[in-house]
Amino acid sequence: MSQQVQFFTITDDNAGQRIDNFLVARLKGAPKSLIYRIIRRGEVRVNKGRVKPERKLAVGDLVRVPPIRLAEPDAPTPAGKSLLLALEDAILYETDQLLVVNKPSGLAVHGGSGVNLGLIEAMRQLKAKDAALELVHRLDRETSGCILIARKRSMLRYLQDLFRGEKQVDKRYQALVKGRWPNRAHSVNMPLLKGEVGNGERIVRASPEGKPSRTEFDVLERFESATLIEARPITGRTHQIRVHAQYKGHPLVGDDKYGDDEFNKVMSQFGSRRLFLHAGYLGVPMPDGEYLEFRAPLPDDLQATLKQLKASER
């Protein structure tokens, strides 16, 4: 598709964003190599001047984008009516700046890598007038529970800054782990290192060479062969709770990447069909000083597993 020269005036929603990230969001379908090339050649101008990719935009800046050819973007996969209805019911909180959704297990947060439709694409169809909907953070596909979606760029920036700090957002998960979690194991402070296995699959492992990572744990309920715990990730590393639990020798039930396959087979007799990890609570300080708390009850399938465990011990 041939485009003419485009001009964008930066508003408060885009202020503070890097010019390269701004262009990635605006030029759908443009490869990043093209975006960096037109910046490097000086074809992108801000207030008539050349810029570097890391230049941060300010309110009132005028951005000039040269004519470029873009492939027609693929139309997003239409979300089914049942999914849209389920997501409508899953909205826990809604204002003109923020949505909080109780994400169902099995739904990726966004499309890509073989996933045709994710939570954010479905929510953009559900809230068709909200072109600016963006994920604030992520949950693994099999993890259920509270997730924040920003409706304004300013709210997105504010919340993402909170997530980068320690204890700015109070995140609490419920997880069922193998065996008897030690009463004294209230904190796991072990660096985590990202890597890949032979097929390109992403893997995370405990390693002194990794990034500092800390999770706090408390026991909620004990069973003969498993423990229900509350996990509070103080840092926000990929797969942090799952890897820290594995590191302590108590992997999560239903974890097909870091778990115990034989134990997962045993737990399937109690109705366990997926990763037992649920983001049940978020506490978030708002810019105006208000402190918001969001809760998502433990889903029926996870509750059913706990009930069967209890029944087996009578």
> What is the set of active-site residues?
140
Closest CA to 58 of 89, 19, 29: 19
Counting every residue written for the chain, the total comes to 314
Dist. CA 221–CA 227, nearest whole Å: 6
Enumerate residues 6+ apart whose C-beta is below 8 A from 216. 186, 187, 231, 232, 234
Dist. CA 22–CA 6, nearest whole Å: 13
Amino acid symbol at 282: L
Strands 144-150 and 277-285: parallel
Dist. CA 29–CA 43, nearest whole Å: 18
> Angle, to 10 degrees, between the axis of helix 32-40 and the axis of helix 19-26?
130
User: Residues 87, 93, 96, CA angle at the centre, nearest 5°?
Assistant: 100
DSSP letters of 142-173? T-EEEEEEESSHHHHHHHHHHHHSSSSSEEEE
